[in-house]
Amino acid sequence: MQRFGLITFCALTLWVFTSCEGSTFMSSVPAYPVRIAIDTRTVFVDFLPENLNACVTVDKDGYYENGKFMLPTTVMDQWGYGGVVAYVSLAGYVAFDLACPYCAGRGKKSPCFMDGIHAECPECGEEYEIASGYALPQKGISKEALRPLKVFNNGGKLEISQRQ
């Protein structure tokens, strides 16, 4: 009976260590710094939780709310490898680096562009469905989702950064 307990303990320990293995998200997209603030109280007043599918994209040229140019970027802004999209999804506010993982894994920096509920790569044609909150590839060209970012909502001021 004592041997059975030891085998059970070893099996449970092995299961715990192997089940934790997949909890760290690995991406082909390099982890470039991200620091973006989106204030829904003053500037981005249409980017509210009840406006499903609303988005704000940020790149070196500035901020775009649902395709409309809003602001230039500031010295403090950092927008990842391929730009950033913040999105109001079914899961709430989500954000992703817009670099295509499939192309990044092949040494190309191909930022996706937003087309409604999808981010589409102009290089390979892969579409990433954003509305669910997971940015999963839809055509099967890429095997990875877009790199997720951390969104902290501080009373209407969204702070987007790299996941730790």
Question: What structural domains does the chain harbor?
Answer: 26-161 (2.102.10.10)
Quick: pLDDT tens for 15-54: 333 344 444 557 899 989 999 999 999 999 999 999 999 9
Query: pLDDT above 90 covers what percent of the chain?
Result: 69
Selection from 148, 130, 124, 128 nearest residue 138 by Cα:
128
Quick: pLDDT tens for 60-86: 999 999 889 999 998 889 999 999 999
Q: How far apart are the first and last CA of the chain?
A: 44
pTM above 0.85, yes or no: no
Per DSSP, the chain holds a count of helices (H) and strands (E) of 2, 13
Quick: pLDDT tens for 93-102: 999 999 999 9
Q: How far apart are CA 81 and CA 111, in angstroms?
A: 8
Cβ(142)–Cβ(101) below 8 Å: yes
Q: Residues with Cβ < 8 Å from 110, sequence gap 6 or more?
A: 82, 99, 100, 103, 104, 121, 122, 123, 124
What backbone phi and psi angles, to 5 degrees, belong to 42?
Answer: -125, -55
Q: How far apart are CA 134 and CA 62, in angstroms?
A: 24
